Structure 1
Amino acid sequence: MSVTGVEGEDRSNFTAAESKQIRGRSLRLLGSLLRPVRWPVVAAMLIVVVSTAAQVAGPALIAYGIDQGLPALMEQDWVPLAATGVVYLATGVLGALLIAWYTIMSARISQAVLIDLRKRVFLHTQRLSLEFHESYTSGRIISRQTSDLDAIRELLDSGINQLVQGLLYMVFTAIALFLLDGTSGLVLLASIVPLALLTRWFQVRSQTLFRRSRTASASLIVQFVETMTGIRAVKAFRAEKRNEKVFGELVEDYRTVNGRVIQLFGIFDPGLVLIGNVAVAVVLLVGGFRVVDGQLAIGALLAALLYTRRFFDPMEEMAMFYNSYQSAAAALEKISGVLEELPGVPDPVAPVDLWAAKGAVSFESVQFEYQSDRVILPRFDLSIPAGQTIALVGSTGAGKSTLAKLMARFYDPSQGRVTLDGVDLRDLHPKDLRRAIVMVTQEAYLFSGSVADNISIGKPDATPAEIVAAAKAVGAHDFIAGLPNGYDTDVNKRGGRVSAGQRQLISFARAFLADPAVLILDEATSSLDIPSERLVQQALQTLLGGRTAVIIAHRLSTVAIADRVLVMEHGRIVEDGTPDQLIAGTGRFAQLHAAWRDSLV
């Protein structure tokens, strides 16, 4: 897989060039997200600068009040001390109001960015081709929309605030201390050396641990989602114990790495406190001697001590920011990787409109292979006239479903072209393609909502009468009418209130309501019992009249309604004829039909 598709969870396996490319990709994404809100960001930065300056002014005002206001008050001049108190109160109120304003603005900016990013991820992953979704597990997709976006949200909601306010507070505090007393400023400057060494030590070790923690967390989410998604298989094969062991190992790994993170903070936090206390002690010792010598006022010493102490206050929060930053950076890498995935089936640059498709399908020198370079369909030619019903039969892996997916343009051929009424599917306007060709698969997925909602997916503006008519056409009306609320019954996730066969009938109704020119049924009757299948076959004979149809089925009873049967083996058509012609022969289909007939006996 190319670098644009990497997960971003373990960059230690990447070359320097790949890591640079990933960082550049993430920065481009971040820039595109911030560009629409750049002016609110500038305004927020100005607000936080002014608010931080107002907060830092406090100790200097205290020093002025002690050194100038108190002596004046002893001479019955209360103005300097009163003025200092008023200014101190005003700066406190101004700082609080501006911080509140900044917090609200930053929250709005972060929400705008998150909404934009969340929509991008959803719309882009929905637009990506079937090939991507067949290789990119559902657990990983869900992780992109949940834990990864949450990591970015945490950084935007609090981490950025901590960083910006913390850095500005430290810079302004150091400047104020140097302006107040240069000697105390030099003591603070000297303390930055061990502080920088401790921070670098923490950064190097935490980077690896934080990445391991996020990888372990993502593995937990993927394992949980895939277990719950495949719960039927879990129950069928009694895989609970096996899953318990796997999940337990993942939980233990997550616990271990988080324990090491806690140990890291157990060294870093006390180290910060120690450096800060030593710096305060040195400022007090040096300043005390200078006060005795008359070189420093007592108020200035107090302000220097306050500034020195406050300088170290944001450090722990900034260390937590680094954690948030690492999480968000890794999340942004993974999300940007998904967003830079290109659809394997791109929309045409100059789409051709086909308002009323007739349904003639043609495969012209088509060859298809997956990314593994495994050829599924070698050079392939096929012409299906409009209105003809084709049955595709053959052993598993013969290429039947691949042919159907090419016809529905879930994939594009590696060579050659597939046409509808003479128009290459790659040039056909997507809305015309989806209206003209509809595929019903074995899965028969139902979305949350009512039965009527699920049927109307085939035609969103359908009237209730049209929905009922479609259901009657495929023999689904009777069981729907018997549901608790009829067509308004909520099918729940994955159609929990209806059986597999009933779900298939609903999907048939959905497809027939769409009224396509070409209808593809990929093992679509496999979930139906014999009576239901007979009802559907009766409906198919009526509804397939006048439209092109391709039926893929192992049940040869379904093949009987076809005008033409194609027998496929190893991606090639080995027999082509009417059902009666092939049954009367001695080829592969005749053997399959004889074996099927014997199984009925």
Structure 2
Amino acid sequence: MTTPDSSTASGLKDWRGVATEDQDALSDDVTLMLRGRSRRLLIDLIAPHKKKLWLLMVAVVIQNFAMMAGPILVSIGIDNGIPSWARGERSPMITVIVAMAVAFIVDGLLRWYFLMGFGRIGQQIVLEIRRRLFRHFQRLSLSFHEKYTSGRVVSRQTNDLESLDELIDAGLDGFVGALLSVVSVCVILLFLDPMLAVVVLLSIPVVLYLLHWFRRRSSVAFRRTRETSAAYIVHFVETFIGIRAVHVFRRAPRNSEIAGQLNDENREANAYAYWLLAIFVPGIKITGSIAMTVCLVYGGLRVMDGDIKIGVLAAFLLYLRRFFDPMTDLGMFFNAFQSGMASLEKISGILEEEPSVADPDNPVALPNARGEVQFDGVGFAYNADNADVLPKIDLRLPAGQTVALVGATGAGKTTIARLLCRFYDPQHGVISIDGVDLRNLSDDDLRRAIVMVTQESFLFSGSVADNISIGKPEATREEIVAAAQAVGAHGFIARLPDGYDTDVRKRGGRLSAGQRQLVAFARVFLADPAVLILDEATSSLDVPSERLVQRALATILADRTAIIIAHRLSTVEIADRVLVLDRGQIIEDGQPDDLVNGTGRFAALHDAWRDSLV
């Protein structure tokens, strides 16, 4: 179970100091690396949409001009249209009204075009990230998935993608509009009245300070909210994956305590983020209100003196409102931007993770494997800091031979199986099939040649037929039925409510352990590999189920190389050859009958097993 890091919330105790401390804690090199990685991913995702984005940018610029026309037209209407109307001249006022109507229509249509176009592009980008993540998670090696928890995988696919979705759907739209509004208003204010514009410019340093203050702290705050949320998801997923252990060992109170702590940390992280907003948004509004008040008083005095017209002052104040309101949007964009970029950093990190077991650049074809396996000087350790699980092993398995691996837990049996399946690559030596180094085989040829069955016999949600056809996706129903008949699974499948179309439910929960194993064997029979590895494939079965599986084994082991890892010596007896391992070394090698009649480790194990049956 996941235990929360006590430091997770410690940085949130002093809200006003957390941003600077955490920001300083991140080294410049790491920050630049993350930004560069995120930038590369973003550029790659945007590249297919460049032309559409340029069209949208042109549309939003024109839309901004149309939107900015309103106050200046109001000014013209007040200063020229109304006096002309009073003198009986209708055309100036009608022109202003028509121009305003056109500006509103252009503004609305182009706004609709921008939102629809940008929304489509945004959804296509999110869909592409989702596809890449799913494909990449499947491509990554077993060593990655053993250290990267399922909860973190879920967090990347949900929390982080939602954050990016929010940034694309709302954040960027608000940012583009706000930025254009601020720039346009600055130019227009200077054009309308430079002296009044100077009054506004005096407030800009305050606004820039607030933006800088908010941006710097929000970058830490919103990264923290994502981290604490991800930590909760990790704990949640692992709790319910291990729900049986939770119930058996009365772990629920402790898990609830951990969940409560993680929730508190997330609440504190979000509270700090809201505290930043509570300072920033009112700060911008107060600054804007003060600037508008000063402009109104100063401008009103100048109107009375005849220095400017009242329409110009009205337009100036309307534009001034459009200058400060977008500042809040810019701040909210930083909110979405920091959260989205924090998510993009995590996603780009996953997508740039290289499989520890890489496909060869120039694979050697192996269309018809015979199944001869060779280990030449193979040494392997799961971690560089730990001792070798296999110090050095030399082993040759002729094609068609059934070999049993026997030994105490930790002797290296499963490691040999994993290396042969190329879940890992050895640090030393070569593993080959039919004389070809496994590292030179394409993944398709390797998986076609070597198949492994474990005690879990994992079944996917779906029908029995779907689960059998995993061994050969293009198989016909006749081939699926023939495979089930060959391993003795057809009888119980036919008795299921919908036969081969019966949904096995989550992880095959509708079937017994023995039935799941028979479905797994039917899958293997259909795949027809040259090499079959059975890793404790019968260890979880009761005696009746084991007998059913033993009969199936005789069928699927025929005419193929097989490696059997089992503690039950009833399974080992069907082997042509037995290898006894101890600390990664082969200490006995021979036929089962010869070893049983000897005085070595296997004979002792066999005697102990036989005594246990009495």
The answer, yes or no, to whether TM exceeds 0.5 is yes
- Residue aligning to 1:24: 36
Q: CA deviation at 1:12?
A: 6.2
Deviation per CA, 1:297-341, whole angstroms, max 9, x where unpaired?
Answer: 000000011111121112222222111111111111111111111
Q: Distance in 2 between matches of 1:14 and 1:486?
A: 59
Q: 1:540 to 1:585 in 2, by over 3 A?
A: same
Q: Distance in 1 between matches of 2:540 and 2:565?
A: 13
Secondary structure of the corresponding residue to residue 574 of structure 1: strand
Residue of structure 2 aligned with 1:39, choices 37, 40, 51: 51
Whether 1:279 and 2:291 are equivalent positions in the alignment is yes
- Contact preservation (8 Å) 2:218, 2:338: no
- Residue aligning to 1:182: 194
Residue of structure 1 aligned with 2:168, choices 140, 147, 156: 156
Secondary structure of the corresponding residue to residue 312 of structure 1: helix
Q: Distance in 1 between matches of 2:525 and 2:49?
A: 46
Moved more, 306-315 or 385-394: 306-315
Deviation per CA, 1:346-371, whole angstroms, max 9, x where unpaired?
Answer: 11111111111110000011111223
Q: Which residue identity does 1:421 align to in structure 2?
A: D
- Contact preservation (8 Å) 2:455, 2:540: yes
- Residue aligning to 1:3: none
Aligned residues: 593
Q: Which residue identity does 1:429 align to in structure 2?
A: S
Residue of structure 2 aligned with 1:101, choices 102, 105, 113: 113
Q: Distance in 2 between matches of 1:421 and 1:35?
A: 45
Q: Distance in 2 between matches of 1:402 and 1:69?
A: 88
- Residue aligning to 1:464: 477
Whether 1:236 and 2:248 are equivalent positions in the alignment is yes
- Contact preservation (8 Å) 1:47, 1:98: yes
Deviation per CA, 1:460-484, whole angstroms, max 9, x where unpaired?
Answer: 1112222122222323222222222
- Residue aligning to 2:5: none
Pairwise mapping of residues 49-198 of structure 1 onto structure 2 (< 5 A)? 49-198=61-210
Deviation per CA, 1:25-72, whole angstroms, max 9, x where unpaired?
Answer: 111111111111111111111111110111011101100111111222
Deviation per CA, 1:555-588, whole angstroms, max 9, x where unpaired?
Answer: 1110000000011111111110111111111111
Deviation per CA, 1:256-309, whole angstroms, max 9, x where unpaired?
Answer: 222222222222222121111101101101101110111100000000111111
- Residue aligning to 2:3: none
- Residue aligning to 1:253: 265
Pairwise mapping of residues 436-515 of structure 1 onto structure 2 (< 5 A)? 436-515=449-528
Q: Distance in 2 between matches of 1:190 and 1:507?
A: 76
Q: Which residue identity does 2:501 align to in structure 1?
A: D
Residue of structure 2 aligned with 1:523, choices 528, 533, 536: 536
Q: Distance in 1 between matches of 2:256 and 2:202?
A: 54
Deviation per CA, 1:423-454, whole angstroms, max 9, x where unpaired?
Answer: 11111122211111111112211111111101
Q: For structure 2, list consecutive stretches of 5 or more residues without a partner in the other structure.
A: 1-10, 12-21
Q: Distance in 2 between matches of 1:347 and 1:13?
A: 38
- Contact preservation (8 Å) 1:210, 1:326: yes
* TM-score relative to the length of structure 1: 0.96
Q: Which residue identity does 1:496 align to in structure 2?
A: G
- Contact preservation (8 Å) 2:518, 2:552: no
Q: Distance in 1 between matches of 2:26 and 2:221?
A: 18
Residue of structure 2 aligned with 1:342, choices 354, 357, 371: 354
Q: CA deviation at 1:13?
A: 5.2
Q: Which residue identity does 2:395 align to in structure 1?
A: L
- Contact preservation (8 Å) 1:537, 1:561: no
Secondary structure of the corresponding residue to residue 424 of structure 2: coil
Secondary structure of the corresponding residue to residue 447 of structure 1: coil
Secondary structure of the corresponding residue to residue 96 of structure 2: helix
Q: Distance in 2 between matches of 1:227 and 1:563?
A: 44
Secondary structure of the corresponding residue to residue 528 of structure 1: coil
Q: Distance in 1 between matches of 2:237 and 2:548?
A: 37
Moved more, 464-473 or 294-303: 464-473
Q: Which residue identity does 2:132 align to in structure 1?
A: R
Q: Distance in 1 between matches of 2:488 and 2:247?
A: 32
Secondary structure of the corresponding residue to residue 391 of structure 2: strand
Q: CA deviation at 1:11?
A: 7.6
Moved more, 73-82 or 328-337: 73-82
Residue of structure 2 aligned with 1:411, choices 409, 424, 432: 424
Q: For structure 1, list consecutive stretches of 5 or more residues without a partner in the other structure.
A: 1-8
Q: Distance in 2 between matches of 1:484 and 1:169?
A: 66
- Residue aligning to 1:427: 440
Whether 1:541 and 2:554 are equivalent positions in the alignment is yes
Whether 1:557 and 2:570 are equivalent positions in the alignment is yes
Residue of structure 1 aligned with 2:334, choices 316, 322, 326: 322
Secondary structure of the corresponding residue to residue 364 of structure 1: strand
Q: Distance in 2 between matches of 1:475 and 1:238?
A: 40
Q: 1:558 to 1:205 in 2, by over 3 A?
A: same
Q: 1:443 to 1:214 in 2, by over 3 A?
A: same
Q: Which residue identity does 1:467 align to in structure 2?
A: I
Whether 1:302 and 2:314 are equivalent positions in the alignment is yes
- Contact preservation (8 Å) 2:164, 2:343: yes
Whether 1:270 and 2:282 are equivalent positions in the alignment is yes
- Contact preservation (8 Å) 1:584, 1:590: yes
Q: 1:135 to 1:413 in 2, by over 3 A?
A: same
Q: CA deviation at 1:14?
A: 4.5
- Contact preservation (8 Å) 2:504, 2:511: yes
- Contact preservation (8 Å) 1:272, 1:312: yes
Q: Distance in 1 between matches of 2:513 and 2:200?
A: 73
- Contact preservation (8 Å) 2:75, 2:312: yes
Q: 1:113 to 1:389 in 2, by over 3 A?
A: same
Q: Distance in 2 between matches of 1:260 and 1:17?
A: 27
- Contact preservation (8 Å) 2:514, 2:549: no
Q: Which residue identity does 1:311 align to in structure 2?
A: F
Q: Distance in 1 between matches of 2:24 and 2:136?
A: 28
Q: Which residue identity does 1:520 align to in structure 2?
A: I
Q: Which residue identity does 2:581 align to in structure 1?
A: M
Secondary structure of the corresponding residue to residue 439 of structure 2: coil
Q: Distance in 1 between matches of 2:198 and 2:558?
A: 91
Secondary structure of the corresponding residue to residue 566 of structure 1: strand
Deviation per CA, 1:380-438, whole angstroms, max 9, x where unpaired?
Answer: 11000000000011111111111001111111111111111001111112221111111
- Contact preservation (8 Å) 2:579, 2:586: yes
Secondary structure of the corresponding residue to residue 426 of structure 1: helix
Q: Which residue identity does 1:310 align to in structure 2?
A: R
- Contact preservation (8 Å) 1:11, 1:19: no
Identity of aligned pairs, percent?
55
Q: Which residue identity does 1:411 align to in structure 2?
A: Y
- Contact preservation (8 Å) 2:521, 2:552: no
- Contact preservation (8 Å) 1:449, 1:490: yes
- Contact preservation (8 Å) 1:473, 1:509: yes
Q: 1:162 to 1:216 in 2, by over 3 A?
A: same
Question: For the aligned residues, what is the CA RMSD?
Answer: 1.5
Q: Distance in 2 between matches of 1:570 and 1:157?
A: 57
- Contact preservation (8 Å) 1:504, 1:527: no
Whether 1:359 and 2:371 are equivalent positions in the alignment is yes
Q: Distance in 2 between matches of 1:345 and 1:69?
A: 77
* TM-score relative to the length of structure 2: 0.94
- Contact preservation (8 Å) 2:196, 2:299: yes
